[in-house]
Amino acid sequence: MSPAILRSRIGRICVAIIGSTPEEMLAKAEEAARENHFLEFRLDYLPKPLLALPKLQTFLCERGDVTAVATCRRVEGGGKFKGSMASELEVLEKAAEAGCHLVDLEIETAEAIKHAQIDKLRSRGAALLISYHDFHTTKDLDKVFERIRPFEPEFIKVVSTAKHLADNVAMMRFLERVRDLASVVGICMGDQGLISRVLGLRAGSVFTFAAATVGEETGPGQIAARTLEDVFRVDQIDAATKVYGVVGNPIKHSLSPLMQNTAFRRETVNAVFLPLQTTKLTDLLTLVREVPISGLAVTMPLKEEILPHLERTDPLSEKIGACNTVVRSQDGKLYGFNTDVAAIVRPLERRLQLKGAKVLVLGAGGAARAAVFGLKDKGADVYILNRTPEAAQKLARQAKAKTFKRELLAKTAFDVIINATPSGMHGVKPASVLNADELNTRLVFDLVYNPIDTPLIRMAREKGLPVITGVEMFVHQGARQFEIWTGKPAPEEEMLRVVVHALRQQAEASKAAEAPAKK
């Protein structure tokens, strides 16, 4: 098949198919092929790859719409195949004979074998993809390209690891430089490399790789095909697509990308919203400048640290000393806003009179600052309890609030207790910030939204206390961010619906995972 015809057959997403038996692998391929016709068969995941090829041949004969990549990556190259280079070549040759349209050969193997062996592999009818993987860093991408180029493969695949957000910029600049010289696939692995998996296609990557489903990733940071298509809408990203993101650490479990991308789709805004995991502001600012990023949702631990880098902030952010929303103007200057305050105050105002209310705020970070200043503005009597007393004292001085000692909790009554710490957040320990006997209050508000039922919320319900979950605040502040970025009314009901649905699905998946362990 000619390279031109092959290019016309392949999609923008190649779905990696794994399995411990040929039957399992082909069943997964059948399932994936209902939505994606471009599949990578990871033959190295099978104990005896050669035994799978007759079945693979039958599958490809029956599914003429499928374009198949055969990969048999050795352990030395980050794969699972324990055989020799000669055995790897035999598997790839026979995979080509079985009807696979591309074979993926590691550069280390290509350089170690004779040219005649590569010619023999090519004579089997499949296009050659020569790949390079660096599981540690991103560097010398042009050098890697020039290393592969003499073999004249139909496709060149360069995969590095993003240790910083800026590594994605390096990958995308590389793709822009070489896109007219060869058919190149470029990806950064790792949680911080997600940007390259979404925006790399725009920069010149011929396609990108995706997992068939969540939990079946074949590389660090790989995303499920459905997520790439439905959440990030990679098929619709073009040169005019504006890029936004949520920045902080941890960010992996954030539902901001799902919520904001849903809003963009609903309101037909040509934009994409990405998770940007970092604790380094310099790293973030490089990305904002180079991509460029049009707007940011800022989370822990950068809400306060970002302020000196903003051209101007709204009076609220300035007063609080924390900003959760950034807009980049056309001249590249950054402007800050705070949508946290209203998202904390309004749910409370709907339930009680805040003037004179006695409120305990747990924490002294960006979210806590929003709560304390916002409640003081409404005339509440605010107390701060924090693990580090010095931070609580500093915030109390600034907001004209009071600090509180934990040993007094059990014998002090409050109207509201607000958790503004990450305790209880998915993947964060300790899970609970207070004990049941310390919940001496009329109402509990947990700003953590994932999971919906945090340990604190569950504890409050068991005591018969009314609660406000973090979802209400999360969606409210996100809706205001959307309006600041786009100038359009936010589809708040739709944003709430997808967030609640996702959280319920996560909770069900967690229960299902725990059930076998308890038996």
Task: Choose one of 212, 239, 266: the last residue of a domain.
Answer: 239
- The answer on 316 and 213 residing in a single domain is no
- The answer on 166 and 77 residing in a single domain is yes
pLDDT at site 516? 64
Residue 6 banded pLDDT, cuts 50, 70, 90: confident
Which one of 94, 303, 426, 476 is the catalytic residue? 303
- Is 473 contained in some domain? no
- The answer on 104 and 183 residing in a single domain is yes
What range defines the domain where residue 270 resides? 244-338+492-511
- The answer on 203 and 184 residing in a single domain is yes
Over range 373-379, report the average pLDDT. Answer: 96
What gap in Å lies between CA 333 and CA 328, rounded to an integer? 6
Q: Which residues are annotated as a binding site for 3-dehydroquinate?
A: 40-42, 73, 197, 218, 222
Over range 401-418, report the average pLDDT. Answer: 96
- Is 477 contained in some domain? no
**Would you say residue 300 has pLDDT above 90?**
no
The two structure tokens encoding residue 335: 């402007």
Total domains present in the chain: 3
Continuous segment of H or E residues that includes residue 247: strand 242-248
pLDDT digits 0-9 by tens, 448-492? 999 999 999 999 999 999 999 999 999 999 999 999 999 999 999
What gap in Å lies between CA 290 and CA 169, rounded to an integer? 7
Identify whether 133 is a catalytic site residue. Answer: yes
Over range 344-354, report the average pLDDT. Answer: 96
- State the angle between helix axes of 340-349 and 470-486 in degrees (0 to 180), rounded to the nearest 10: 130
Over range 305-324, report the average pLDDT. Answer: 93
- The answer on 401 and 450 residing in a single domain is yes
Residues 124-136, buried b or exposed e (16+ Cβ, 10 A)?
eebbbbbbbbbee
3-state helix, strand, coil in the chain (%, to 5): 45, 20, 35
Continuous segment of H or E residues that includes residue 119: helix 115-122
Residue 518 banded pLDDT, cuts 50, 70, 90: low
**Would you say residue 99 has pLDDT above 70?**
yes
Q: Which residues are annotated as a binding site for shikimate?
A: 254-256, 299, 324, 340, 449, 477
End-to-end CA distance of the chain: 53
What gap in Å lies between CA 97 and CA 91, rounded to an integer? 10
- The answer on 289 and 171 residing in a single domain is no
pLDDT at site 121? 94
Q: What is the mean pLDDT of the chain?
A: 94
Which one of 28, 94, 157, 426 is the catalytic residue? 157
Residue 251 banded pLDDT, cuts 50, 70, 90: confident
Identify whether 303 is a catalytic site residue. Answer: yes
Which of 60-64, 260-264, 421-425 shows the lowest mean pLDDT across its residues? Answer: 421-425
pLDDT at site 409? 93
Q: Which residues are annotated as a binding site?
A: 40-42, 73, 197, 218, 222, 254-256, 299, 324, 340, 363-367, 447, 449, 470, 477
What gap in Å lies between CA 201 and CA 192, rounded to an integer? 17
pLDDT digits 0-9 by tens, 144-174? 999 999 999 999 999 999 999 999 999 999 9
- The answer on 390 and 305 residing in a single domain is no
- State the angle between helix axes of 389-399 and 366-377 in degrees (0 to 180), rounded to the nearest 10: 30
pLDDT at site 9? 86
Which CATH number goes with the domain that contains 119?
Answer: 3.20.20.70
Query: Can you tell me whether residue 184 is helix, strand or coil?
Result: strand
Identify whether 82 is a catalytic site residue. Answer: no
What gap in Å lies between CA 161 and CA 191, rounded to an integer? 9
Q: What is the dihedral of CA 399, 403, 406, 411, to 10 degrees?
A: -100
pLDDT at site 519? 52
- Is 517 contained in some domain? no
Residue 510 banded pLDDT, cuts 50, 70, 90: confident
Half-sphere exposure of 158 (CA within 13 A, CB side): 30
Task: Choose one of 204, 239, 274: the last residue of a domain.
Answer: 239
pLDDT at site 252? 82
**Would you say residue 221 has pLDDT above 60?**
yes
- Is 362 contained in some domain? yes
Query: Can you tell me whether residue 41 is helix, strand or coil?
Result: strand
Residue 96 one-letter amino acid = A
Strands laid side by side in the 325-328 sheet: 271-277, 242-248, 295-298, 325-328, 334-337, 312-313
For residue 454, how far is the Cα from the chain centroid?
A: 22
The answer to whether 12 and 207 are in contact (CB under 8 A) is: yes
Which one of 101, 133, 242, 476 is the catalytic residue? 133
pLDDT above 90 as % of the chain: 89
- The answer on 232 and 381 residing in a single domain is no
- The answer on 328 and 206 residing in a single domain is no
- Is 127 contained in some domain? yes
- The answer on 361 and 309 residing in a single domain is no
